[in-house]
Amino acid sequence: MQLREDIRNIAIIAHVDHGKTTLVDQLLKYSGTFRDNEHVDERAMDSNDLEKERGITILAKNTAINYNDTRINILDTPGHADFGGEVERVLKMVDGVLLVVDAYEGAMPQTRFVLKKALEQKLTPVVVVNKIDKPSARPEHVIDEVLDLFIELGADDDQLEFPVVYASALNGTSGEEPEGQVESMDAIFKTIMDNIPAPIDNSDEGLQFQVTILDYNDFLGRIGVGRIFRGAVKVGDQVALMKKDGSVKNFRITKLFGFIGLKRIEITEAKAGDIVAVAGLEDINVGETVCSVNAQEALPVPRIDEPTLQMTFLVNNSPFAGKEGKYITSRKIEERLLNQLETDVSLRVDPTDSPDAWTVSGRGELHLSILIENMRREGYELQLSKPQVILKEIDGKMCEPVERVQADVPEDYTGAVMESLGSRKGEMVDMINQGNGQVRLEFRVPSRGLIGYSTEFMSQTRGFGILNHTFDGYEPVIAGQVGGRAKGVLVALEQGKASTYGIMKLEDRGIIFVAPGTDVYAGMIVGEHSRDNDLTVNITVEKHLTNVRSANKDQTSTIRKTRDLSLEEAIEYLNDDEYCEVTPESIRLRKKILNKNEREKATKKKKA
């Protein structure tokens, strides 16, 4: 069996914020791929605005570097379980993985998630213990944790013999031992070359190329990025596209691209083992296979985990509809959602009884909120309902998604966190005292119990806690209410501008969400009530001016700071009878029924 020793294909996998993207920066820098005078941004692989702002990877991306005489194709993957669809597809393209683990935090929930996927694909692992320069680094413990995780996830004997490299991606140092780090990435490059298998060279057989990532270009149309598993391809070749529905379309390869550094370079031919981009077919989709016309054999379509959470997306029909957005019609919103389906394999969009509403299902709150944030930045206006978990029938029983939750909290706050997760039907799995006043709690909690929990968790731990969770499977539905909002809301009585006087009069009643001068409408939520019932309030009321001089006229009126809700917080905050109105400029909460009398009638009817 002939191998292509001039190529290695690897993916970098890790829990969020363990340093994958920074490590790729250093591998690019030390490989000599860039010229000495070439400027490279930090976290160069995180290319879109949301990735840069949040410091997370959302989309899987590929790059390639030359090390000595070998081309190393590197795929940077997201760490969040919400983007698991991206991780699964990418792992199909590679022969090995670099598992990056924080030298202090060790194995975390998403470490488990991404490693499980890699072991299922029988990929060769290399463990990189990153952030070794941290004063709190504990490399020996972390390696033990990682080994336990490998055993727990059913790794075979070869996978258990994983090599370990120590690094500080931030400082650009690496070494085979925790001490004696050298300013270079040679230890990692050498470990990749010695351990990651080279791809098989079967380029004399019929072509098989599978599309794993989709891209779009205004000049070239849709571009399919993937790996050539068999055979070779040249520009101008006539090939067959094996569609998911079983149909076959013939087309000609108009452009072929390879990768080097952060650039896509035009090439004329490629063969087995290469990761390339192909242009020339309009309706190419993820998972489809491009073959030789005379050897039509489709590769298995990658299995993608099902969505676990759904929301209703609606056309905005509030009194302020159309004032701030560019795209507000049902046709435009539907078009945008269907476009998203072309590149996002973990998303589902289903029509409803109404032509102005769609059920959108995704892998979690972050997955859906990233889509919504992108839409509002593009000029869309829409309304959203409360997120609901997706139930599934397994062996005749109705089951719900369950998540594995890991909370790192200061000792003083463990009681409050345990109590609140217990009330959300959480089951404690483990409790580890990590010393230095920190405790790690592990729970299994129904997904619906975690909707809206992160804000409560941050309050309970005074901002010192770290909460991570990842999908763990389906279990029979637990009866009764799980989680949900405990407090009622303050609802505006009429349209107008929120006044300082109106806000001051309401401060004793709860927490206010709107600043003075904000436009409000009847039925809009303007704050959180201190009790568990909703209260309709007049926030637009102005102080009546009289000619009577006030005894305390020299005192300046001051109001407390209002609470600003981010998009995720607003979505989490919703109750069943509420919508979140999202426009390019504003995020507003509102009642589904805006009229006070009609709302009260509906509430009485429901109770009856």
pLDDT, tens digit, for every residue of 7-27?
999 988 887 777 777 888 888
Min mean pLDDT across 25-39, 298-312, 320-334, 587-601 is at: 25-39
The pLDDT assigned to 314 comes to 93
How far, CA to CA in Å, does 560 sit from each of 409, 489, 503, 512, 543?
Answer: 29, 18, 9, 9, 18
Distance CA 333, CA 356 (A): 9
Binding site per annotation, positions for GTP: 17-22, 130-133
How far, CA to CA in Å, does 348 sit from each of 361, 363, 474, 508, 525?
Answer: 5, 10, 19, 44, 30
- What pTM value is reported for the model? 0.75
**Beta strand pairing call for 357-362 and 238-242:** unpaired
| Range 238-255 average pLDDT | 86
Distance CA 134, CA 130 (A): 9
Q: Specify the higher pLDDT residue, 16 or 236.
A: 236
> Do 121 and 89 touch, CB atoms closer than 8 A?
no
Local confidence band at 96 (pLDDT 50, 70, 90 cut-offs): very high
pLDDT digits (tens, 9 = 90+) for 420-457: 888 888 889 888 887 778 888 899 988 888 887 877 78
Q: Using the 8-state DSSP alphabet, how is residue 362 labeled?
A: E
Chain mean pLDDT for the chain: 83
Local confidence band at 337 (pLDDT 50, 70, 90 cut-offs): very high
Binding site per annotation, positions: 17-22, 130-133
The pLDDT assigned to 575 comes to 87
Q: Which CATH architecture has domain 7-195?
A: 3-Layer(aba) Sandwich (3.40)
CATH 3.40.50.300 domain span(s) along the chain: 7-195
The values of phi and psi at residue 26, to 5°, are -70, -35
Distance CA 332, CA 97 (A): 41
pLDDT digits (tens, 9 = 90+) for 514-537: 999 999 999 999 999 988 888 999
**What angle separates helix 139-152 from helix 109-120, to the nearest 10 degrees?**
50
> Do 452 and 398 touch, CB atoms closer than 8 A?
no
Fold (topology level) of 208-292: Elongation Factor Tu (Ef-tu); domain 3 (2.40.30)
**What angle separates helix 109-120 from helix 84-91, to the nearest 10 degrees?**
30
| Range 313-317 average pLDDT | 93
Local confidence band at 607 (pLDDT 50, 70, 90 cut-offs): confident
| Range 136-164 average pLDDT | 89
The values of phi and psi at residue 571, to 5°, are -65, -45
| Amino acid occupying residue 308 | T
The pLDDT assigned to 319 comes to 93
The pLDDT assigned to 351 comes to 92
| Range 285-293 average pLDDT | 85
| Range 74-80 average pLDDT | 72
Local confidence band at 56 (pLDDT 50, 70, 90 cut-offs): very low
- Which tokens belong to 527? 């704050």
The proportion of the chain whose per-residue pLDDT surpasses 90, expressed as a percent, equals 22
CATH 3.30.70.240 domain span(s) along the chain: 393-476
Which CB contacts under 8 angstroms, 24+ apart, belong to 249-253? 249/281, 249/283, 250/293, 251/280, 251/281, 252/280, 253/278, 253/279, 253/280
Q: Specify the higher pLDDT residue, 311 or 1.
A: 311
From the CA atom positions of the chain, what is the Rg in Å?
27
| CATH of span 393-476 | 3.30.70.240
CATH 3.30.70.870 domain span(s) along the chain: 309-389
| Range 71-86 average pLDDT | 70
pLDDT over 80 at 348, yes or no: yes
pLDDT over 60 at 46, yes or no: no
How far, CA to CA in Å, does 139 sit from each of 16, 62, 134, 180, 546?
Answer: 19, 29, 10, 14, 72
User: Domain 489-607: which CATH class?
Assistant: mainly beta
| Range 357-367 average pLDDT | 86
Nearest to 561 by CA among 499, 519, 507: 507
CATH 2.40.30.10 domain span(s) along the chain: 208-292
> Do 405 and 450 touch, CB atoms closer than 8 A?
yes
Rounded to a whole number, what is the largest CA-CA distance in the chain?
A: 99
Distance CA 265, CA 225 (A): 13
| Range 34-50 average pLDDT | 44
CATH 3.30.70.870 fits 309-389, yes or no: yes
Half-sphere exposure of 423 (CA within 13 A, CB side): 11
Distance CA 181, CA 35 (A): 25
pLDDT over 60 at 552, yes or no: no
The pLDDT assigned to 464 comes to 82
Task: Using CB atoms within 10 Å of the CB of residue 159, give its burial: 0 to 12 exposed, 13 to 18 middle, 19+ buried.
Answer: middle
Q: Specify the higher pLDDT residue, 467 or 8.
A: 8
